[in-house]
Structure 1
Amino acid sequence: MSPLESVLLAQKNVKVIDASIPYQQYKPIDLSISNTALLTLKNVDDFEDYISNYLKKDNAKVAFGGYKEFRNLYKRSNIFNDIELEERNIHIGIDLWIKEETPVLSALDGIVHSFDYNVGLGNYGPTIILKHKIDGVEFYTLYGHLSIESIETLKIGTTFKAGEQLGTLGDSSVNGDYAPHLHFQIIDQIEDYEGDYPGVSSQNDLDFYLKNCPNPDLLLKINEL
């Protein structure tokens, strides 16, 4: 186990969206290539309806999952399908699907490392990256698909306490044309990236990204309940 993974496991009571929603109202969702129901969805409105109906079946409020998940969701965007590079279709964060304007919370004490509005079909939209240091271990958390308001007055170096509201979730008009959700990712070494970091990997690069971006559930611990 890496030093970062040990730090993540030692943290307790971490949430990154609306703290009033208990994990008992979270429901795992499969958005992998094996979910053939996704093939019938023609646009973002269909996808929003799919998520909404999926949650209603069990009176749940949050659909979650996606770490190391092979997906077809990215085929519609050239961001992930550069003809000169290997297709990127393996998700390396965790997604929390819930309605727009849901509060997004800082996972841990940290400072704003960078932020940006990553425009384009399939992209993050408004994105915030925080820097953390615990027990001598420095690392980063990324919050993607936020609202424009989340970054309008934000400043690099601003401090946030664990559980403090960072912003809110954006809708499909700003979040890359997705159903509203938070893409949450943990990053060990961020290199020269600012306001952005790959959230989807190719098969050839997967070993690197899984090592550099450990499973966010080590921190969130949703699957322990």
Structure 2
Amino acid sequence: MESLEKLEGWLSNPENQISSVVDFDPSADRLYPFDFTAANLELTGRILADTSVFSLWVTKKLGDTHSRYGIGGYNEHRTIYSRSIHFDTLEEPRRLHLGVDIWGPAGTSVYNFFDAQVHSFKNNDHFGDYGATIILKYQLGDLTLYALYGHLSLKSLDGLEEGQFIAGGTLFASFGIPEENGNWPPHLHFQLMFDLQGKEGDYPGVCQFSNKAVYLANCPDPNLILKHTFKISAE
């Protein structure tokens, strides 16, 4: 809890200004709250089985609601991960989402919310995985925080070096197409971590429900950051 209190305290200081993660005009743009739990009966197995059909479904939802992006997912118990064996284990399948997804067109620009260094990056090239992934390291006062940006375009990895400085507000990545982002409809997986536990270019974005408390303690709600992008309240 100490790390979370430090993060909340740092963010509450008006001297610490953070940037938007994606372009968004709260006076004109809308967000659509996606529900990927079992309660969403519209999202059938037929849709999930085919990435192109799934992508069309997402695009239609955004178009029908005149939304610039879809959003949601933190601490959400999702049924959609049944589409990939990547989330299955012998003991218990992984279904609890640890980040926030921002759904929008491939090529959508991604910005760094504060001064950071490149911790690591990798193309996690498996069906259902992150695809192109970048992890940035932030020093917020005496708190070290990591942010994982997943499902990016492959060109987002070009020219990166570990330890490279990326200033806050810099456009440094973009949403990838399904062939590059782990075979998902285009979106950004945005996740915060206090401890990477020795991992590089990767960190679980979905956990077993039985491990919920451990992972949520290490992965605070990304809406603490995103509320500055979308001008919404983090709950």
TM-score category, normalised to shorter length: over 0.9
Q: What amino acid sits opposite 2:34 in the alignment?
A: I
Distance (Å, rounded) in 1 between the aligned partners of 2:225 and 2:166? 17
Name whichever of 110-119 and 158-167 sits farther off: 158-167
Structure 1: state its 5+ residue gaps.
Answer: none
Equivalent residue, structure 2, for 1:138: 144
Report percent identity of matched pairs. 35
Distance (whole Å) between structure 1 residues aligned to residue 166 and residue 203 of structure 2: 20
Q: 1:29 aligns with which of 34, 37, 43?
A: 34
SS at match of 2:169: coil
After superposition, residues 33-182 of structure 1 pair within 5 angstroms as: 33-39=38-44, 40-41=46-47, 42-83=49-90, 85-182=91-188
Return the letter of the residue paired with 1:184.
F
| Contact in 1 for aligned 2:18/2:114 (Cα 8 Å) | no
- Distance (Å, rounded) in 1 between the aligned partners of 2:12 and 2:193: 15
Relative to structure 1, the CA distance from residue 120 to residue 167 in structure 2 (aligned partners, 3 Å threshold; closer, same or farther) is same
Answer yes or no: is the 8 Å Cα contact 1:110–1:159 preserved in 2.
yes
> Aligned partners of 1:58 and 1:118: how far apart in 2?
32
- SS of match in other structure, 1:49: helix
Residue 199 (1) aligns with residue 205 (2): yes
Runs of 4+ in 1 over 3 A off after TM superposition: 8-14
Aligned-pair CA distance for 1:2: 2.3
CA distance in 2, matches of 1:5, 1:203: 25
Distance in 1, Cα, partners of 2:12 & 2:209: 27
Distance 1:75 1:147, change over 3 A: same
Structure number with higher helix proportion: 2
TM-score, normalising length: structure 2: 0.89
> Matched residue pairs, number?
222
Indicate the larger mover: 195-204 or 4-13: 4-13
| Pairing 1:15–2:24 present | no
Change (3 A) 1:120 1:59: same
**What is the distance in 1 between the residues matched to 2:11 and 2:79?**
30
